[in-house]
Amino acid sequence: MADDREQTTEHLDVQPSDDGPVFPLRDLLGFAITQGEGSGVATLDVDDRHINPHGTVHGGVMFVMLDTAMGAATMSVVGEGNWCATLDIHTRYLSPCFGGRLIATATVRKAGRRVVHLDAVVAGDDGREYVAASGVFAVIPAAG
């Protein structure tokens, strides 16, 4: 029996890219992900698809960026073959964003064997903060 955690993409018209593993939501929203030791960054140039009916960037877009940056930061501190899952993210929307470049930066605060605690912020390239968050991710042990 195959491991339930294998990534299945047979039903999707996507292929792995130089940007990392298959991640259709990243491709749909058009953001990039980078990872450092204990950190993760998601970068997005806002366009019309990210704007809500009120003319601001939809909060869900910024949440996806936070969650993804936190996941990247978590994966940078877990052992080989392990993976992670979001347990909780507390999000505080600080200011509306009307466009430009958004940068979600996540930092590991404490990494344990089973959970990782993180802080993150979404800011413009001018440093203005739009969203702040804290999160907890589960560490899922490698099979075997």
Tell if the pTM clears 0.75, that is, is over it: yes
Is 21 within the bounds of a domain?
A: no
Please provide the distance, in angstroms rounded to a whole number, between the alpha carbons at the two ends of the chain.
13
Predicted pLDDT at 36: 95
Is 19 within the bounds of a domain?
A: no
CA 88 remoteness from chain centre: 13
pLDDT tens sequence across 28-68? 899 999 999 999 999 999 999 999 999 999 999 999 999 99
Is 1 within the bounds of a domain?
A: no
Predicted pLDDT at 18: 57
Residues spanned by the domain of 122: 27-140
Predicted pLDDT at 20: 59
- Sign (positive/negative) of CA torsion 137, 116, 125, 130? positive
- 8 Å CB contact between 103 and 123: yes
Of the candidates 61, 81, 72, the one whose C-alpha atom is nearest the C-alpha of residue 137 is: 72
Tokens coding 41? 């960054």
CA–CA distance, 140 with 76 (Å, rounded to integer): 14
CA–CA distance, 20 with 112 (Å, rounded to integer): 25
Domain count, the chain: 1
Q: What's 53's domain CATH number? A: 3.10.129.10
Is 96 within the bounds of a domain?
A: yes
Predicted pLDDT at 90: 98
* 4-8, 32-36, 90-94, 101-105: segment of lowest average pLDDT: 4-8
More confident residue, 13 or 43: 43
pLDDT tens sequence across 65-97? 999 999 999 999 998 899 999 999 999 999 999
Is 104 within the bounds of a domain?
A: yes
Is 97 within the bounds of a domain?
A: yes
Predicted pLDDT at 19: 55
Is 110 within the bounds of a domain?
A: yes
Is 16 within the bounds of a domain?
A: no
